Amino acid sequence: MKRALGVCYYPEHWPEDRWAIDAAQMVETGLTWVRIGEFAWSRLEPSEGDFQLDWLARAIDVLGAAGLQVILGTPTATPPHWVLEKHPDMLAVDAEGRARGFGSRRHYCFSHEGFYQESRRITRILAERFGKNPYVVAWQTDNEYGCHETTVSYSNAARTAFQDWCAQRYQSTDALNRAWGNIFWSMEYDRFDQIGLPNLTVTEPNPAHVLAFRRFSSDQVVRFNRGQTEILRQHTNAPLIHNYMGRVTDFDHYDVGADLDIASWDSYPIGFLSDRLEGTPEHKAHYLRQGDPDMQAFHHDLYRTVGKNRWWVMEQQPGPVNWAPYNPAPLPGMARLWAWEAFAHGAEAVLYFRWRQAPFAQEQMHAGLLRPDAESAPALTEVRQVATELATMPEVGTTKARVALIFDYVSCWAWEAQPQGADFDMFRLAFETYRAARRLGLSLDIIAPHAYLRGYDLVLAPGLLETPETLQNFKGMALIGPRTGSKTAELCIPLPMGPNIKDLNCTVSRVESIPPTTRIALENGGTFLHWFEELDGTADITLRTKDGKPAIMHTDGLHYIAGWPEADTYVEILEGLATTAGIPTQRLPDGLRVRDSETHRFWFNYNPSEITYQGKTLKAADLLIEDLA
Ligand code: GAL
């Protein structure tokens, strides 16, 4: 598969006589992919049944004739106002019971049957017209499911659908009552239609109820997406893609990905650093114009799994965005570095968002490759450089990593339903685990809990609701916990208590969560924060707290960790395990990262200044590619 560059384009935003000029310039820049259409519903069907597809056909022709391959989006993230007038109750409802409004996007509830049918209808119309169009080489379903907190909706439609879902999952209210423990506080039901949604309760709702509702909400996204893929597949053989977001964990991406051919995601490194990552003010200041050195890589590795090894970056930040609290400009070089990092992790394509900055509406302050006046914006030169480099650089195949991190969406919902400590966030725990490994120069695979572990020398399994079956017989080195295997699938305490790993002989007897001002000191000088578990059992003690309690216990390669390690402690622990597993590590300087492909080693300098390491000098925001042969 040839790696390629592309861009997101909105022909409906510009006069038609501009399209050919834009297309020619895209090609001249070295772009080969162009994504269009995903928000154009009001121009494709201005009123019900009034289909205006000819302009889109002409746009596709112009782009295709210029040599570009088109990805066509279904426009269901932006239903026009007439759709809302037809289905006034299609809006998602927030936890306070308020309907969300018209006037931006994603204003639909996944459970609304009428809107579901509208989504299938417009998808069918587009698929019938463009499914065989030779220039339409891939399709995108909707846009960023779950973005703007749109997965979970407390609407009447959701309530009815949830009752049906419960009836299917539990078969009887007795079984449901038992599974959730509804004897507690007399919460028992005797009919499924009595079951409400877990919002607006007087004090906290039953966490099992919340988790069931979150599983249901995720299934609704899967169903909605499948509603489109079924139709698209009847009309096209082109690959089907969705563009996921960064740090959106509200639906199970593995499940959605199962119905698609390629995963893609929208990478906004500087926006994410500012708006959705924990970090000290110093960290955020240091990486202000580069983004966090692990955030992009984490999602590349995650979506590689979601896409079953085929994945893209559908939207790449090109300059300042408009939506974060602060929106600094990237350092010169970053638009190139981010693209190369994606290719190093196996991306087939990287598309920049967007071609030309719109002078109107919500994103008028969001950079494109062109300025609003169609002059070049700074990133354009860097994109051209990547295009030239790609042409001369041999293919880089991805290779299976020796280290795997198990990441699970259900666990994200479980710990949201029952955090037990304000700082226990599943994504954060997984991300900090990933970061610690990367600081040791390791390349990782991120894998689903049901994935085979064969071939991995070190498996990291932090914070999983249930212990994956595959770990029960795993013979390599593993670091399990904290909190892994501490609950049943229904978010109750298992008996016997967790982590329930057959050969480990270790039980969590008590847990405590602690505020950020407190640390648990370890005998080796390290610390735990946020979370600590007391361990019982006959497993060997690998590491103790300063006051003598087990901090890590192990039997053979299986290790259980009783707390959330502070960053440097985590590095030290993983270094020890990797060394025992025979995996070479190195302590990388801050902001330097390395990623191995089958044939090449890629070095990325996320620092705002030059760095020298092992005789290699990398300028600020620069990369180095070494041939491993
Ligand atoms: C993405 C979205 C795009 C655009 C972009 C701005 O989340 O898919 O449509 O809004 O952000 O950064």
Amino acid at 582: G
SS3 267: strand
Q: Are strands 540-544 and 550-555 parallel, antiparallel or unpaired?
A: antiparallel
Span 346-362, mean pLDDT? 98
What is the reported pLDDT for 399?
81
Q: Which atom of ligand 1 is nearest to the CA of 323?
A: 12
Averaged pLDDT, 21-42: 98
Q: Amino acid identity of 31?
A: L
Helix runs in 241-324, H state only:
253-257, 269-275, 281-286, 295-306
Contact 152, 189 (CB under 8 A): no
Inform me whether the pLDDT recorded for 2 exceeds 90: no
DSSP-derived letter for residue 265 is E
pLDDT tens for 393-452 read: 877 777 899 999 999 999 999 999 999 999 999 999 999 999 999 999 999 999 999 999
| Sequence-distant (≥ 6) Cβ neighbours of residue 501 within 8 angstroms | 467, 471, 472, 480, 485, 558, 560
Q: Is the pLDDT of residue 67 over 60?
A: yes
Tell me how far apart the alpha carbons of residues 481 and 499 are, in angstroms, rounded to a whole number.
8
Q: Delineate the domains of the chain, giving CATH numbers in brackets.
A: 4-150+237-392 (3.20.20.80), 403-580 (3.40.50.880), 592-627 (no CATH)
Tokens of 585: 């590590």
For ligand 1, what atom is nearest to the CA of residue 353? 5
What percentage of the chain carries pLDDT values higher than 70?
100
Find the 438 Cα to ligand 1 centroid distance in Å: 28
Contact 468, 450 (CB under 8 A): yes
Query: For the chain, what is the mean pLDDT?
Result: 97
Instruction: Look at residue 1 and tell me whether its pLDDT is greater than 70.
Output: no
pLDDT at position 395 is 76
Which atom of ligand 1 is the closest one to the Cα of 322?
Answer: 12
Per-residue pLDDT reduced to its tens digit, 295-342: 999 999 999 999 999 999 999 999 999 999 999 999 999 999 999 999
CB atoms within 10 A of CB 604: 24
How far apart are the CA of 320 and the centre of ligand 1, in A?
12
Find out whether the beta carbon of 321 lies less than 6 Å from any atom of ligand 1: yes
Residues 6+ apart with CB under 8 A from 318: 330, 335, 352, 353, 354, 367, 368, 369, 377, 379, 383
Tens digits of residue pLDDT in 235-267: 999 999 999 999 999 999 999 999 999 999 999
216-232 pLDDT per residue, tens: 999 999 999 999 999 99
CA distances 399 to 447, 583, 594, Å, are 14, 15, 14
Q: What is the identity of the amino acid at 6?
A: G
Going by pLDDT thresholds of 50, 70 and 90, the confidence category of residue 281 is: very high
Q: What is the pLDDT of residues 540-553, one digit of tens each?
A: 999 999 999 999 99
Q: Whose CA is nearest to atom 1 of ligand 1?
A: 266
Q: How far apart are CA 446 and CA 437, in angstroms?
A: 12
pLDDT confidence band for 352 (50 / 70 / 90):
very high
Task: Give catalytic residues, as residue numbers.
Answer: 144, 315
